[in-house]
């Protein structure tokens, strides 16, 4: 485990700091499965979920004769138990005694069907058999003869290997197999008894770049065929995929799913498991770390679908996945961006979550209506401190609200002034097919279209969570505005690793790396839009900025934090890519904020690199909740304090809630006022005692104010600062 935790540039750390980071790493990993997840050398894993328990059926590399099959079980994905030999070729078959590998297990008819590859003694070729048991662990009774041979495959493939069985929604079962020598994939239909073949002819449905080990999943009406490519015995081995609208093709090539990186090699022969009812998928695969296939081990990582339905490439991790016991609520998809602007579409219709007539009035009704692209159908979805979400209508600035904060089924849903109470808080769960369920906080009431109507103008209400399509919504990101002055978490694409300052240091020159999301300020950045349109990223609670060392324009130059000095080394262009991810480009260069070798390991260094469009340069920017009140900025000297902006107003333009951040340059009494265009006082916001270098945030609900331009005036010990506030409705 320790060798799987590389540290960025250890020569610059004291032994004490290395020990601290090591302990933190172990603490983070203790909450996950870790990788590898199974004891010993195992390969070709298939993971299945039966009756609240996960089972992995691998090839046992430690058994040189290949005659015995083990199984492993877990109730939470993190603690695995070897259940011993569940099938033994020498004792439980008559037609095969060795070279057993790559099992696949399916539950049907109250039975468990165990498909496997083995050497056919009669024909001296690989063949596929099937055995039947009453439990996931057997005992399994073999069918007595091979189910599939080269002859039963019309000799499309001589390597009758790597079976995978898929049962479609209509009940038809298919078996996919074949590869390696000749690299052809065959499909045949199974009868309902699951141990015999239909009269349909075998078909060659080989996709692009196929070698072996097919695996099929269905999501949202689309079939995803994943398979191994390359040579199984070296680091060319990898997983790719193709899609179709039919379980038998034709296939449209999709690209890479997982491949070797700088630390781990030969990932392949995998399976994909969906947690029932959720848009939550896991990929289990084998890999090795010493460049020899003889030490293959089983690993698990999350598999994520992009908004367009494509598969996001998997970064192999040393930490694996979090516990996932049976009955767990569906999590929020990692694709959801806090602070993103979304369209919510009712399942199977073109009807959007809409404020009636585009009203800006508190209490205006919320309905579904034909997608017309207006701001009345756009909602800013933002994570709150309690883990729930707030949805603010872009047109009005009002929050999605349950009337009277009621928990009663059928209560109307409306928009209302953002007041922070539970009537405006929603739990978001990613359900099957890429849809969401929105649950009203503290209740079992879901956001629901009355009578599951598809009609424009149908009312939106809350109703008891019953799992039907009336309570399913597709969330499509339409924009990713950056809130100047907002606090953000930056997460490397395809991992849980965040942009992090080593040991949460406030020292200038501290290196920046990635680290497991732990929620502390080392992973929080204040993003501020500057006058030239570029952004400054300031490490939370310090005045240290994200900076390229020496303002270098060289690929590979170190990224660090450094005292805010206003130069281009600390300026970044943030480019939204339209899929929920952004790239950060160093000002004056085409170099991107990049994770070294696209690794997912905690502690991997972050540098700048040539824009090459890969995932190492992709970041999800999540707007994080902040407590109202004081935030101390650790200014170093008077010159830095005087360089700080004493008054910041955001967002501007604003539609409703406005934030005023005051950072006094000296200690003393301050007053904060809002004036109209004629200089008349329209609101006295505060009289307070300001402390030098201590930022205080004041809030204003501007939703009932007239649209227009206002002047904000700050008076601190006789020194007056002004800025503009623009309100639009």
Catalytic residues: 44, 212
What's the CA dihedral at 30, 34, 39, 44 to 10 degrees? Answer: 160
Sign of CA dihedral 317, 289, 104, 135: negative
- DSSP label at 521? G
Helix (H) or strand (E) holding 92: helix 89-92
Query: At which residue do the structure tokens 């996931």 appear?
Result: 136
Q: What is the 3-state secondary structure (H, E, C) of 248-294?
A: CCCCEEEEEEECCCCCCEEEEEEEEEECCCECCEEEEEEEECCCCHH
Q: Among 576, 145, 610, 546, which residue's Cα sits nearest to residue 340?
A: 576
Kindly report the backbone phi and psi dihedral angles of residue 500, in degrees, each rounded to the nearest multiple of 5, phi listed first: -140, 145
Burial of 605 (0-12, 13-18, 19+ CB in 10 A): buried
Spell out a b/e string for 93-105, using b for 16 or more CB atoms within 10 Å of the CB, else e. bebbbeebbbbbb
- 8 Å CB contact between 627 and 385: yes
Q: Cα angle at 92 between 119 and 171, to 5 degrees? A: 80
Phi, psi of 295 (to 5 degrees): -120, 40
| 133-135-139 Cα angle (round to 5) | 50
Q: Cβ(596)–Cβ(605) under 8 Å?
A: yes
How far is Cα 60 from Cα 341, in angstroms, rounded to an integer?
A: 49
Do residues 118 and 129 lie in contact, with contact meaning Cβ atoms separated by under 8 Å?
Answer: yes
Query: How far is 284 from 272, CA to CA, in rounded Å?
Result: 6
């Amino acid at each position: 485990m320790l060798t799987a935790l590389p540290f960025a540039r250890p020569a610059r750390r004291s032994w004490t700091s290395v020990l601290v980071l090591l302990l933190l790493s172990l603490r983070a990993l203790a909450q996950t499965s870790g990788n590898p997840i199974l004891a010993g050398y195992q390969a070709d894993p298939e993971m299945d979920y039966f009756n609240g328990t996960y089972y992995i059926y691998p090839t046992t590399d430690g058994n040189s004769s290949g005659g015995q099959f083990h199984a492993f079980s877990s109730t939470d994905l993190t603690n695995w138990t070897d259940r011993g030999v569940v099938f033994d070729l020498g004792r439980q078959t008559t037609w095969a005694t060795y070279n057993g590998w790559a099992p696949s297990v399916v539950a049907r008819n109250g039975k468990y069907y165990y498909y496997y590859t083995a050497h056919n003694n009669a024909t001296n070729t690989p063949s596929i058999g099937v055995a039947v048991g009453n439990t996931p662990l057997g005992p399994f009774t073999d069918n007595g003869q091979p189910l599939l041979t080269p002859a039963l495959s019309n000799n499309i493939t001589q390597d009758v290997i790597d079976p995978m069985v898929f049962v479609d929604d209509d009940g038809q079962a298919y078996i996919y197999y074949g590869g390696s020598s000749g690299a052809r994939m065959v499909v045949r239909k199974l009868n309902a008894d699951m141990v015999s073949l239909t009269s349909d002819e075998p078909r060659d449905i080989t996709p692009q770049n196929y070698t072996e080990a097919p695996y099929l999943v269905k999501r949202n009406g689309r079939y995803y065929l994943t398979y191994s490519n390359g040579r199984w015995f070296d680091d060319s081995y990898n997983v790719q995929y193709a899609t179709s609208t039919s379980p038998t093709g034709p296939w449209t090539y999709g690209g890479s799913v997982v491949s070797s990186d700088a630390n781990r090699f030969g990932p392949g022969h995998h399976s994909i498991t969906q947690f029932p009812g959720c848009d939550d998928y896991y990929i289990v695969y084998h890999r090795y770390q010493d460049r020899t296939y003889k030490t293959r081990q089983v690993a698990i990582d999350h598999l994520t679908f992009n908004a367009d339905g494509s598969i996001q490439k998997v970064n192999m991790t040393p930490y694996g996945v979090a516990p996932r016991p049976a009955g767990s609520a569906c999590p929020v998809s990692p694709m959801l961006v806090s602070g993103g602007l979304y369209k919510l579409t009712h399942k199977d219709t073109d009807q959007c979550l809409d404020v009636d007539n585009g009203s800006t009035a508190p209490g205006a009704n919320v309905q579904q209506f034909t997608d017309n692209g207006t701001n009345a159908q756009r909602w800013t979805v933002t994570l709150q401190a309690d883990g729930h979400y707030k949805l603010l209508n872009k047109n009005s600035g009002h929050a999605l609200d349950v009337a009277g904060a009621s928990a009663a089924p059928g209560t109307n849903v409306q928009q209302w002034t953002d007041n922070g109470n539970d009537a405006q808080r929603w739990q978001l769960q990613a359900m099957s097919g890429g849809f969401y369920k929105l649950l009203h906080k503290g209740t079992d009431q879901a956001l629901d279209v009355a009578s599951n109507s598809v009609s424009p103008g149908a009312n939106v209400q809350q109703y008891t969570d019953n799992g039907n399509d009336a309570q399913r919504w597709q969330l499509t990101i339409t924009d990713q505005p950056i809130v100047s002055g907002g606090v953000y978490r930056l997460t490397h694409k395809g991992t849980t690793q965040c942009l992090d300052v080593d040991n949460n240091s406030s020292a200038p020159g501290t290196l920046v790396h990635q680290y497991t999301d732990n929620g502390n300020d080392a992973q929080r950045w204040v993003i501020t839009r500057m006058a030239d349109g570029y952004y400054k990223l300031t490490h939370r609670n310090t005045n240290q900025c994200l900076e390229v060392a020496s303002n270098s324009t060289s690929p590979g130059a170190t990224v660090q934090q450094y005292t805010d000095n206003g130069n281009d080394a600390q300026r970044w262009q943030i480019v939204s890519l339209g899929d929920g991810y952004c790239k950060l480009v160093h000002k004056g260069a085409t170099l991107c904020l990049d994770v070294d070798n696209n690794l997912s390991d905690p502690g991997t260094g972050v540098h700048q690199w040539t824009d090459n469009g890969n995932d190492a340069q992709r970041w999800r920017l999540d707007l994080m909740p902040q407590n109202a009140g004081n935030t101390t900025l650790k200014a170093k000297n008077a010159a830095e304090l005087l360089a700080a902006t004493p008054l910041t107003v955001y967002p501007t333009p604003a539609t409703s809630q406005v934030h005023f951040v005051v950072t006094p340059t000296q200690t003393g009494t301050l007053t904060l006022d809002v004036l109209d265009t004629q200089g008349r006082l329209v609101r006295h916001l505060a009289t307070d005692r300001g402390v030098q270098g201590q930022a205080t945030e004041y809030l204003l609900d501007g939703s009932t104010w007239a649209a227009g331009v206002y002047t904000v005036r700050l008076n601190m010990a006789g020194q007056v600062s002004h800025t503009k506030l623009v309100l639009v409705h």
